[in-house]
Chain A
Amino acid sequence: MRLEYVATTAAQGFWRNPVMSLASTFTVGLMLLLFAFFLATDRGLQAAVGVLESKVELALFLEDDARVSDVLDLRARIEADPAVSRVDYVTKEQAMARLVDIASKRPDIQIVDTSTNPLQASLEVKLAHAQDAPRVTAALREEVGKGVVSDVVDNPQVVDKLLTITRVLSFGGLAVLAMMLIVALFVIVNTIRIAVHARRDEIEIMKLVGATDWFVRWPFILEGMLVGALGAVAATVVVLIAAGPVMGAMVNFIEILPLSFGATFVWQLVGSVFALALAVGGGGAMLSVRAHLAK
């Protein structure tokens, strides 16, 4: 009966003021939609950064007359750096073999003469984390001109850009999310305040006959959670409908990146959306009722 009382009172509260309830449901839904979009984008970018990071390479082109022992010595020194995950030694012959291989797959490249090998031997350095690329590159550039390394080639722009995008999106997303959260809280607090006001006589009598504060609060907290949950359902439906097309557009836009979300991620996303919804709904309601009971 306790539960029944709390549940029916909460439902009554919701429908007694449908305009306000639906307005706050809409606001919460919108906030959750942003949250879901933010989570998905973040996840996609993380994956993209991961993929690019695994491809981050520095190439140290070696002088043709460098001594093999010097090269191996240099390789050992580079490998000692904790930021470096692997160093591969590519000989002139291996470089040529690669070129031939690439050319065989590309009709626009033709190798006319293989009698000479103009390609340089190289050390290919794979980094554990893209952030370390500038430091490692700078350190290796100092090797140029000492008889072993002729040139250091890196391709940091892509990773740098992606990291910047990730950072901007993270901070921007978080800022927008925080603002939406505040708006959603504000709307819920006000919705529940109206519900509390509508029931103020009932609350007065409840307190008079010895109902505990929690017994007074629960119906309102549940009502707030109901608003949150309905917002979450709306947001989830929109996400599920929009996910396909949006993802398609994003994959086209970022091209090669493998943006696919498994079932686990979808469940995590839905779970997070509902958790946030219930927390914001229940929390907002709690703030509102506490303020009233403290009077």
Chain B
Amino acid sequence: MVALLGRGIQLITLDDVSKRYPNGTDALRDVDLEIDSGDFVFLVGSSGAGKSSLIRLLIREELPSSGRVWVDGQDVVRMKHSAVPKLRRRVGVVFQDFKLLPRKTVAENVGFALLVTGHSGEEAREETERALALVGLSQRRGHFPDQLSGGEKQRTAIARALVSRPKILIADEPTGNLDPVTSWEIIKLLVRVNELGTTLVMATHNAEIVNALRRRVVHLDHGMVVRDEREGQYAA
């Protein structure tokens, strides 16, 4: 019942959003998008279709040229600069290139997210263990990134994104650097994270995965939403 209540609440809303870069490129055009709490959404489209721009708007790395963006009830466009860190603590992000710190161990990379947001060392240790257990990396906590496989690196990045218990996890091409088998492991992990209640937005080029999972698919083309299907395919 609690899970049911949790679903259906709008967590992300884009209202008539356009983004034009100073060089004149239109990255997004009149995008309307609503993502509910608990959703698993694939963002698909060719390179340059606007997926990454959309993701950058959600974590307020960029502002739209026009339109409004709400994330977890907050007006992202009009929020004060000082409110941005709190937004980002509620939105975890993982990237294709993992963005791990090479001189820190797996546990340090994950705990880092809590330490730099003002949590105590004790809290950081506890939550790090929880996150590492979730992604199945408890045994590797003392390893450095260059001692890990690609899949393990991505799992470390996912643990880091989840350690602050965000409502939303955004994955920008998380399997882009991984072989098919490892990609599936990561996808399974993300599905599990979603089932535990985290809303998932994933930009991807991986048609096989999109087609197999049959989740919501938002197709971007030249900055516009050309398709939005509940149980969609990679290509129409």
Contacts and interface: CB of A to CB of B under 8 A. Distances in A.
Contacts of B80: none
B164 interface: yes
Contacts of A216: 116
A206 B88 CA distance: 10
A210 B93 contact: no
Given A202-B101, A208-B93, A209-B113, A215 B118 contact: yes
Which among A2, A204, A209, A215 has the highest number of chain B CB atoms within 10 Å?
A209
A15 to B, nearest CB: 14
Interface string B33-77: 000000000000000000000000001000000000000000000
Given A209-B89, A210-B164, A1 B121 contact: yes
A210 B92 CA distance: 9
Interface in B115-174: 115-121, 124, 160-161, 164
B112 interface: yes
Given A210-B85, A210-B164, A205 B121 contact: no
A210 B164 CA distance: 10
Nearest to B59: A208
Contacts of A206: 112, 116
A171 to B, nearest CB: 43
A205 B104 CA distance: 13
A4 B59 CA distance: 29
A261 interface: no
A211 B160 CA distance: 13
Given A208-B59, A211-B117, A201 B88 contact: no
B99 A208 contact: yes
Interface residues of A, number: 18
B82 interface: yes
Contact of A209 (B82, B117, B120): B117
A209 B161 CA distance: 7
Contacts, number: 56
A207 interface: yes
B117 A210 contact: yes
Contacts of A215: 116-118
Contacts of B93: 208
Interface string B74-96: 00000000101111110011000
A265 interface: no
Contacts of A4: 121
A292 to B, nearest CB: 15
A5 B161 CA distance: 20
A212 interface: yes
B88 A209 contact: yes
A18 B59 CA distance: 37
A123 to B, nearest CB: 72
Contacts of A2: 115, 118
B99 A201 contact: yes
Interface string A192-210: 0000000001101111111
A205 B98 CA distance: 10
15 contacts: A2-B118, A4-B121, A201-B99, A201-B101, A205-B99, A205-B113, A208-B93, A208-B99, A209-B88, A209-B112, A210-B85, A210-B87, A210-B164, A211-B85, A212-B85
Interface of A: 1-2, 4-5, 201-202, 204-213, 215-216
